[in-house]
């Protein structure tokens, strides 16, 4: 069975939020979490989406973008 090729052009996801920062990372404090720290993907490229697997680093290098994960930290 032939595989369908999808061409994706690398481009920035973030058009204008905190562009003066190397990487945009936001945190939300919550009271009930099973782990001390959980990172959620916001670049849409993680192999374990919705969790972050660090794929944003490659995306940022390729595109000049500055996206990073949402970090949930246990209090
Ligand atoms: Fe998407 Fe880290 S892999 S934000």
Q: Look up residue 40 and give its two tokens.
A: 């959620």
13 lies in some domain: no
Per the structure, the complete domain to which residue 46 belongs is given by 41-75
Tell me if residue 23 is catalytic: yes
Instruction: Compute, in angstroms, the gap from residue 26 CA to the centroid of ligand 1.
Output: 12
Task: Give the closest residue to 13 by CA, choosing from 64, 48, 70.
Answer: 64
Instruction: Note whether residue 32 is domain-resident.
Output: no
Mean pLDDT value across residues 23-52: 87
Catalytic residue among 19, 23, 58, 74: 23
- How many A from CA of 32 to the centre of ligand 1? 23
> What is the CATH classification number for the domain harbouring 47?
3.40.5.90
Question: Is a pLDDT exceeding 90 seen at residue 7?
Answer: no
- Concatenate the DSSP letters of all residues of 11-46 into one string: --S-SSSSTTSSSEEEEEEES--SSSEEEE-SSS--
The ipTM estimated for the assembled molecules is 0.99
Alpha-carbon distance 2 to 72, whole Å? Answer: 41
Give the pLDDT confidence of 16-37 residue by residue, as tens digits.
888 999 988 887 777 788 888 9
The whole-number average pLDDT for the span 36-46 is: 92
The total number of structural domains that make up the chain: 1
């Amino acid at each position: 069975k032939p595989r369908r090729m999808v061409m994706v052009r690398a481009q920035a996801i973030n058009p204008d939020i905190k562009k003066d920062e190397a990487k945009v990372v936001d945190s939300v404090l919550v009271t009930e979490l099973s782990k001390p720290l959980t990172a959620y993907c916001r670049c849409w490229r993680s192999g374990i989406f919705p969790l972050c697997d660090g794929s944003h680093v490659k995306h940022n290098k390729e595109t000049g973008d500055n996206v990073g994960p949402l970090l949930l930290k246990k209090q």
